[in-house]
Structure 1
Amino acid sequence: MELVANNTIKEICEALVISDSKLAQVRDLLHQEIEKGLCKETNPEATVKCFPSYVRHLPNRKEAGKFLALDLGGTNFRILLIELTEEAIETKIVSKIFAIPNDIMVGPGSELFDYIAHCLSEFVHEYNVQHEKLPLGFTFSFPLRQEGLSKGVLVKWAKGFTCSGVVGEDIVRLLQEAVERKGDFEVDIVAILNDTTGTLMSCSYENPQCRIAIIVGTGTNACYVEDLDKVEMWDGDCREPRQVLINTEWGAFGEDGSLDFILTEYDRELDQNSLDVGHHIFGKMISGMYIGEIAGLVLRRLCREGLLFNGKGSEKFYERGSFDTKYLSEIEEEESGVISNCQKILDELCIPEYTEEDCSNVRYVCELVSRRSAALVSAGVACLLNRVKEKHVVVAMDGSVYRLHPAFHTVMVEGIAKLIDPDLEFELVFSKDGGGKGAALVAAVTARISDENDIDEHVSA
C-alpha cells in the first residue's frame, strides 16, 4: 500500500527510508566483509566472521535409515526421530519438547548435560530405539567456535544460560560423557551445527537448488555454500566436493562503523540502551528482538512532540520495550483503513485517547520499520546470490519475523530483484523446522558419505 502521513511526521521518519543506491552500498560492503572474514590474514578484524561449518555435502535423497536430532536454542529443547527412505518416498518424524528448569540453566554444566541425557533416554525408550546406536545431529544455537563437524567449542553463553564449566569446552564431548554416565542407551553424535545451517540442509532436501539460508526471527543470521578455494580459513581436507557451508554470523555487520551512514537516531538510542552496546549493528536494524522497540522509539518521539495521541501517552507506552515486534505484524495484516488491531494494541498500551488518524500514523511508522528490515535483509541476500553465481538459487527462509509479517516476503522479493546481477534467478522458500530436521539430515548425509567411502575402499581393495 502507499504510505501516507503528514509532512512533519514524514520528515521525522525520513531517515528510516533507505534508497536503492544506499542498499546497493550495503550489499557491496557486506561482500567486502565476507571477503575479509574468509581470508586468514584479515579475519581477526572482520565483523562478519564467516565460520566454516564443516558441512560440505548436501542431501541427495539417497539417505536412508533412522536418525536422531537434538535442537537446543533456548529454555526449551526438542528431540526428533526421523526415518528416511531413499528417494524420499516416505519421511517419518516424531518429536518431543522438553523444558529446561531455571536452576539447571544457571547451575553446573554437568547437570545441564546430565538432564539432556536423561531426556534423550526417556525419548529413545518411548520410541523403542534404545538398543540402536543411532547417528545424532546436534543443533546448538549459541556462539560456537567450530573445530570440526563433530567438535564445537562454546565461546559464551546467551539467552539466560550461565552454566559453569562449559565455556571453552567441546559441547559434543560434554554431551557424549553425559550419555555414557546415563548408561542405558547409546548414540553416535556425528555433527554439531547452528540453526541456519540446519535450515539450509532441511530446505535442500526438498529443493536441491538451495544454496543460501536466512533466519529473521528474534535474531538474524545467514549461511551459504562457498567454494573451498575461497575459504582461506579452511583447515580440513580438500577432497570433493570442494565446497563448505559458511556460517556468516552477519548480525555483527557494521560493528566497525561501516553502516553508520544508514543509522538513525533511533538505532543509536536503541544500541546505547542495549546489553551489548556497539555489537550486532546489522541485527539490531533487522531482527525481532529490536525492531518493535525501534518503532516504539519513533512513536514516543511523535507523541512527545504532540503529533500522536494529542501528546498524551501513558506510563506503559513510554516503558522501554513496551511496543512489541508482534504489533508490527498485527497492525499491518489488516487492510488499509481497517484499524481494529491497532485500536486493540493502543488499548493494551493504555493510550487514553486516539483518533483514526493516529492509527493511520502508527501504521505508517510500523510499515517504515518493517520494510527497512526487509530491505536490509534483501541487500544481504543479493550479496550472497551474487557470490554463489548459480543461474537459479533457492533461498531457504525461516524465523518468526519472516514467517509472521504479512509483507516481509513480498518486500524481499522486490528488493532482491533490484540488487542481484541481471542474469540470476532466485526463489524464497519457507523452510520449516530447520533446526530439528536439518540436524537429522546432517547426520543422515554424514552416514551416507561414510557408507559410500566404505564401499569405495572395499572395491579398491
Structure 2
Amino acid sequence: MKIENIPQYEDLNLVTTEIRERCKDLILDDDTLREIQRRFLDNIKRGLGKDTHEEAIIKCFVTYVQNLPSGEESGKFLALDLGGTNFRVLLIELSQNHFEMKSKIFAIPQHIMLGSGERLFDHIADCLYKFMKEENIVDEVLPLGFTFSFPLIQKSLTTGILKRWTKGFNCSNVVGHDVVQLLLDAIDRRGDIKISVMAILNDSTGTLMSCAWLNHNCRIGLIVGTGSNACYVEKQKNAELFDGEDLGSGNVLINTEWGAFGDDGALNFVRTCYDEEIDKNSVNPGKQLHEKMISGMYMGELARLVLEKLTKEGLLFGGKGSDILFTRGSFYTKYVSEIESDRPGTYSNCIEILEELGLKHATEQDYINVRFICECVSRRAAHLVSAAVAGLLNKMGEKKVTIGIDGSVYRYHPHFHNLMMEKIGHLTEPGIVYDLMLSEDGSGRGAALVAAVACRHPR
C-alpha cells in the first residue's frame, strides 16, 4: 500500500551529532519492532488460553459481542458512557444508514469518585432519570448499552466484574462486583424509570462497533489517547474462555487490555531511562508499561525528561534550563503535536512553547534539536502501536481490514496517521490490505450499536 507524504525526521544534517547519538535508544528499527510483535503475539496467545490466562499479562478478556452491525439496525436506544470525570447519557435513533443522537454531559464530583459504589450508581441513575425526563421518554422501556471504560472481566454480554479502578476513581464495594447489577439496583431504588440493559462494553469495543456500522471491513478497534487499548475479532474456537452460545458468527470480540504488555519484562530490552523514570513516578509503578511508552498521559513528560537530561548535560539551551522545564508535568503532550506541526524550516510553535517554559534564550539550533527529540518520542509511540496492530492483522489473516481508531494522540498529532500507515505496511504479511478510520463518537454510538445488535440476536 503506497502512503504519500510520510513525514521524515528533522533534517538529520541539521541536528547536532551529540543529540542524534543520545536519542538512538528512542529509535526502533524494523527488526526490533518484529521482535516486539513476536512477543506481543505470544502474550495474546497466552491471554486467550484457558491454562495460561491467569498468569498472562495481556488478559484478552472475552466481551461476548459476537456480531458486528449490519447497517440495518433500527430503533431508539439509550447509552451510558462512563470513562472519566464526566459521564454522558445519550439517546440514539438508528435507521438504515441514518444516525441521530442527543446527549448530555454530567459531572462526577470527586467526593463521588472516591465515595461508596452505591453513591456512584445512585448518581448515574439520577442523571439517567433527568435526561429521560427532558427527552420525554420516562414512560418508555428502551434497550441500553453501557460503556464502562475500566478493566472488566465479562461473564456474558450483560455481566461485567470490575477488576480494578483507574483514572482517579476509588469507589468502595465495586471491585469484584457486577457493575450492571449495581446500575440496576440503583434504578430499582428509584422506582421511577425502567431500562433494559443489553450490553456492557469498553471504549475500544465501542470504537470497533461504531466504525463497523459505517465500514463493514472494520475488525479492530483501537484507542490511542490518554490511555491505549485495542479489541479485535477473534474466532470463538481460539478464545478458550468463551463460555456462551454461538449466535452464528463463530466469532467474538476480544478486549486485549494491551496497555499491560511489558509488565512481565518483555519490553525491557527497548525501555529507556526515561521510561523507567516515568514508571517510577506514576501512580501504578510496574504496571501498564506499554501504555506508558505510547499514550497521551505520558508522551509530553517523556519528551520533557529527554530535554531535561540533555540540558543538564550541556547539549541544549547552552546548558541553562528553567525551573518550569525542570518541573514534572510541565511539558504537555499537546506541545509535541504543536512543535511537529511547524512547517519544515519554521519554528513558530516551538519558539512560543519554549518561551512559555522560560527558555527565551533558545537558539535556532535548539529549535532544530527540540523538534527532533519530539519526533523521536512520537514516532516511537506510533511504531509501537503499529507493531501490535500489524501483529493482530497477521494473526487474523483476513485480506482486507479496516482499523477503527479514537483518542486524542491519533486525532491531533499531525503525523500519527501517516506514520502508522507506513509502519504497519512494513510489519504485515504480504497481501493484507488495511486502512485506518477515525471513529466519530465510538463510546456513545458504539454502546447503542452493541445494544441494537443484541436486540437483533436475543438470547
Q: Find the aligned partners of 2:26 and 2:94 in 1 and give their Cα distance.
A: 47
Aligned to 2:160: 152
What's the counterpart of residue 58 of structure 1? 68
Shift, 1:46, TM fit: 1.4
1:196-246 Cα deviation digits (max 9, x unpaired) = 000000000000010001110001001000001111111112342111000
**Structure 1 residue 398, shift from structure 2 partner:** 0.7
Pick the aligned partner of 1:260 from 256, 268, 271. Answer: 268
Q: Deviations over 1:332-386 (max 9, x none)?
A: 1110122111111112212251111111111000001000000111101100111
Name the residue aligned to 2:306. Answer: 298
Q: Distance in 1 between matches of 2:166 and 2:156?
A: 22
Residue matched to 2:4? none
Query: Identity of paired residues, percent?
Result: 54
In structure 2, what is the equivalent of residue 7 of structure 1?
Answer: 17
From 35, 52, 62, the counterpart of 1:42: 52
User: Take 2:132 and 2:31, find their aligned partners in 1: how far apart are those partners?
Assistant: 54
2:216 aligned with 1:199: no
Q: Match of 2:297, SS?
A: coil
- Give the aligned length: 449
Letter of the 2:374 partner, please give it. Answer: C
Is contact 1:312–1:352 with CA below 8 Å preserved after alignment? no
User: How far is 1:31 from its partner?
Assistant: 0.9
- Number of the residue aligned with 1:22: 32
TM-score in terms of structure 2 length: 0.96
Amino acid at match of 2:40: L
CA distance in structure 2 between the partners assigned to 1:417 and 1:284 by the alignment: 24
* 2:385 is equivalent to residue 380 of structure 1: no
Q: Is the 8 A contact 1:228 1:243 kept in 2?
A: yes
Q: Does residue 80 of structure 1 match 2:90?
A: yes
Name the aligned partner's letter for residue 398 of structure 2. E
Aligned mates of 1:34, 1:102 — CA distance in 2: 36
User: Which position in structure 1 is the counterpart of 2:365?
Assistant: 357
Instruction: Please give the alpha-carbon distance, in whole angstroms, between the structure 1 residues aligned to 2:262 and 2:280.
Output: 15
SS in 1 for 2:308: helix
Of 71, 81, 84, 2:81 maps to 71
The aligned counterpart of 2:376 is 368
Structure 1: distance between partners of 2:169 and 2:283: 15
Whole-Å Cα distance in 2 between the matches of residues 418 and 60 of structure 1? 32
Which of 395, 408, 414 is equivalent to 2:403? 395
- Equivalent residue, structure 1, for 2:5: none
Which secondary structure state, in structure 2, belongs to the residue aligned with residue 129 of structure 1?
coil
What are the within-5 Å matches in structure 2 for residues 177-216 of structure 1? 177-216=185-224
How much does 1:389 deviate?
A: 1.1
CA positional deviation for 1:12: 0.5
Per the alignment, residue 130 of structure 1 pairs with 138
Matched with 1:438 is 446
Equivalent residue letter for 1:58: L
Matches of 2:165 and 2:309 in 1, distance apart? Answer: 35
TM-score (norm 1): 0.96
Q: Confirm or deny: 8 A CA contact 1:211 1:395 kept in the other structure.
A: yes
- Secondary structure in 2 matching 1:354: coil
Q: Which segments of 5 or more consecutive residues in structure 1 lack a partner in the other structure?
A: 454-461
Q: Give, in whole Å, the separation in 1 of the partners of 2:244 and 2:79.
A: 24
Q: Secondary structure at the match of 1:291?
A: helix
Q: Which residue of 2 aligns with 1:457?
A: none
Cα pair 1:107 1:162 within 8 Å, conserved: yes
**Alpha-carbon distance change, 361 to 296 in structure 1, aligned in 2, over 3 angstroms:** same
Give per-residue Cα distances to partners, 1:249-276, cap 9 Å, x unaligned.
1111111111111111211222222222
Distance 2:203 2:190 in 1: 27
User: Structure 2 CA distance, aligned partners of 1:239 and 1:57?
Assistant: 8
- What is the aligned partner in structure 2 of residue 308 from structure 1? 316
Cα-Cα RMSD: 1.1
Matched, 1:95 2:103: yes
Deviation at 1:66, TM superposition (A): 0.2
Q: Secondary structure at the match of 2:303?
A: helix
* Secondary structure of 2:414's aligned partner: coil
SS in 2 for 1:124: helix
Query: Which amino acid in structure 2 is aligned with residue 305 of structure 1?
Result: E
